[in-house]
Amino acid sequence: MSGYFSMRKVLLLALAICPGGMAVGADAGLMWSTHVRPILDLHCVKCHGPIERKSGLELDTPEAVLKGGDEGPAVVPGEPDKSRLYQFLAPGADPHMPPKKQLGDADREMIRAWITAMSAGKGGVTNPPVAAVREARKFGSIPEAVETLLAEGWKARGVKPAGYVDDRTWCRRVYLDLVGRIPTPGETQAFLAEAADARREKLVDRLLASDAHAVRMRELWDVFLMGRPRRDNHEDRRRDNGWWSFLEGAFRKNRPWNETVRDVLVGRGEAPEAKGASWFLYERRNNHQGIAEAVAPVVYGTKIDCAQCHDHPLAREIKQAHYWGLVAAFNRSKNVDGGNVVGESAIGGFINFTNLKKESQPAVVTLLNGRVVEEARPAADAKEEDRDGLYEDPKAKVRVPKFSRRGAFAEAATRDNPLLARAFVNRMWAVFFGRGLVHPVDEMNARNAPSHPELLDWLAADFAASGHDPRRLVRGLVLSPAYGLDRGEAPPESFGSALERPLTGEQLARSWRVAAGLGPDEDGLRRAAVGAIPEVLPRDYNATFQQAQFLANSPALLELLKPAGSGTVPRIAKLGNGADRVREAFRAAFGREPAEGELEAAMELGGAGSERAGERSRDLMWALMTSAEFLTTP
């Protein structure tokens, strides 16, 4: 929200300085998608949108606004004072909109500016839908495509990109992203000692081939697919029932993503590499609506929860039929007691849903990409018979139907479904760049246009053409020049500078141990850190009191920084010179030398004198390891 309000202030300031010039030169489409549509969504679309069309007026798209309603046009392009949409917002207007409310001056002036900007004939028409065909340009690699298309976006937006981080900072960033921890000082030095022209590629390839990368990807996708476990025993059950091994194995072997998703949706674990995949369905305990709502962001890239009782009120392409069709894909499924197997009946599961007009309609497995899973539906008065001939092996402990509805859906969702590739690409882009090309990352629908449509199209098509190769995509993204940008003031959606990315609980726990001079993995610390910092890719990051308490009073961190024994604190405490202790602490925590001002400040905390050197060294390391620099990806 802070970005929204700050940008709106900039626009309003420009209007105040030169109202005519700014309004005429403004991009009506950008103003619509960034500012005007959110205002109308919040205050107007409930009564004037796809669900309810009072006075025949819809205000959810620029086309609908221009069309107007029963009383004529709502907007006269270029002339806000003649436009009903703007007139009715004024205090004392009769009729007044919204009823019983009054929009603030900033919101009304934004709508005025948008109508004025339409004078050039650009009404703010939204970007082409996902299905629109665009002739793809050819690029030799993912880094080339990213560099070229982002640069074109910066030029079009008038954005000056930030400079690039140095190799030392880039090394820390890529270790955090690919293996979930900071590098040791020795690893950083080894990287810097490599030939400069090839060291980044060599490091990325080495990290991608490591077991630590498979674990890192499993940690991310466990949360993306399942959410954070509410209690430790839920986490234990995922591990003990093979879910973690399944995900790690998929990324360790670099299995095609569509095959991994297919195993998750089918949920049988028939092949060795699919063992544990059924836990995705099993953990949801026959909650077929919950399953459908979890599946949609994976195979479509968007939530569909809002279409349960009616067509989506904002994203017109998401229908109530899509929601209940996805429920129907899984409603023949049932957990088998005594394990983690999800059975499936060959009959039943034919349901109807009712829309707001009280009309009953059959739930047919209909995908958001338009495909339909064909299935003969029995007559209303017919009684189905569950018989052995409907199953592949009637004597099997868990019988598999010859026609598996969820299997048919899985096949349709993972073959020739471009939305699957787009969803994965957008999610991984968000992992490495801090937000998706479509934001929010799990709402890739007509309401949220891509910031760089051609780039998303190209990456998704390239990912699909590669056989849905996760490692190739990840390698290309982290080796792109944009991944190495420094922090700056560029708008977040431009990707003209690195966004602040808080560490996950897992990244923090491992990095703490590395900074403390210990091995990276220890389950107790990981659990404690995840409990305090459960979010992964939060839409809006806000530190909590729980996190502050954890960082200020963590017994786990105190244990890592004991002055006695082995590790960083005992090692630097033995150094006789206070400045040397500070320098070694900075190298251990940040992988860099302290700046002059930092050296002086740190000397006061942990460097001066040799008395109580152990305690001073501990306090210094604690301060560094709970600082904003340590808690974020550089």
**Judgement on whether residues 182 and 259 belong to the same structural domain of the protein:** no
Q: Could you report the per-residue pLDDT of 481-526, keeping only the tens digit for each?
A: 999 999 999 999 999 999 999 999 999 999 999 999 999 999 999 9
Q: What is the average pLDDT across 232-240?
A: 91
Give domain status of residue 238, yes or no: no
389-409 per-residue burial string, b: 16 or more CB within 10 A, e: under 16:
ebbeeeeeeebbbeebbbbbb
- pLDDT confidence tier of residue 114, bands split at 50, 70 and 90: confident
Q: If DSSP codes are grouped into helix, strand and coil, which group holds residue 504?
A: coil
Q: Which of 212-216, 316-320, 464-468 has the lowest mean pLDDT?
A: 316-320
Number of domains in the chain: 4
Give domain status of residue 184, yes or no: yes
Q: What is the average pLDDT across 120-145?
A: 65
Query: In which domain, by residue range, is 158 found?
Result: 142-231+425-499
Could you give the CA distance from residue 321 to residue 558 in angstroms, rounded to a whole number? 55
* Model pLDDT, residue 215: 98
Amino acid at 296: A
Could you give the CA distance from residue 390 to residue 392 in angstroms, rounded to a whole number? 7
Residue 45 has pLDDT above 90, yes or no: no
Could you give the CA distance from residue 73 to residue 397 in angstroms, rounded to a whole number? 66
Helix, strand, coil shares of the chain as percentages rounded to 5?
55, 5, 40
Q: What is the average pLDDT across 540-557?
A: 85
Could you give the CA distance from residue 173 to residue 180 in angstroms, rounded to a whole number? 10
Residue 3 has pLDDT above 70, yes or no: no
Please count the other Cβ atoms lying within 10 Å of the Cβ belonging to residue 607.
Answer: 25
Q: What is the DSSP string of 171-217?
A: HHHHHHHHHSSPPPHHHHHHHHHS-TTTHHHHHHHHHHTSHHHHHHH
Could you give the CA distance from residue 467 to residue 531 in angstroms, rounded to a whole number? 37
**Judgement on whether residues 309 and 215 belong to the same structural domain of the protein:** no
Q: What is the average pLDDT across 120-143?
A: 62
Q: Could you report the per-residue pLDDT of 563-612, keeping only the tens digit for each?
A: 888 899 999 998 878 889 999 999 999 999 999 889 888 887 765 556 68
Residue 394 has pLDDT above 70, yes or no: yes
Q: Which two tokens stand for residue 409?
A: 């859906």
**Judgement on whether residues 455 and 399 belong to the same structural domain of the protein:** no
Q: Which of 114-118, 130-134, 291-295, 428-432 has the lowest mean pLDDT?
A: 130-134
Give domain status of residue 125, yes or no: no
* Model confidence, pTM: 0.86
**Judgement on whether residues 514 and 482 belong to the same structural domain of the protein:** no
Highest mean pLDDT among 112-126, 226-240, 319-333, 613-627: 319-333
* Model pLDDT, residue 17: 29
Q: Which two tokens stand for residue 72?
A: 């004529």
Could you give the CA distance from residue 451 to residue 442 in angstroms, rounded to a whole number? 15
360-362/352-354 β-pairing:
antiparallel
| Contact assessment for residue 502 and residue 631, using Cβ atoms and an 8 Å cutoff | yes
Strand partners, 334: 343
Between the CA of residue 357 and those of 75, 129, 174, 493, 595, what are the distances in Å? 30, 28, 54, 40, 68
CB-based burial label for 552 (10 Å; 0-12, 13-18, 19+): exposed
Strand partners, 633: 501
From first CA to last CA, the distance across the chain in angstroms is 23
Could you give the CA distance from residue 475 to residue 453 in angstroms, rounded to a whole number? 21
Maximal C-alpha separation, the chain:
90
- pLDDT confidence tier of residue 31, bands split at 50, 70 and 90: confident
Residue 4 has pLDDT above 80, yes or no: no
* Model pLDDT, residue 606: 61
Q: Which two tokens stand for residue 228?
A: 């954070």
**Judgement on whether residues 116 and 147 belong to the same structural domain of the protein:** no
Give domain status of residue 128, yes or no: no
Residue 195 has pLDDT above 50, yes or no: yes
Which among 499, 529, 564 is the end of a domain?
499
* Model pLDDT, residue 121: 46
* Model pLDDT, residue 609: 59
**Judgement on whether residues 311 and 279 belong to the same structural domain of the protein:** yes
**Judgement on whether residues 276 and 402 belong to the same structural domain of the protein:** yes
Q: Which two tokens stand for residue 584?
A: 């070694």
Which letter does DSSP use for residue 567 in this model? S
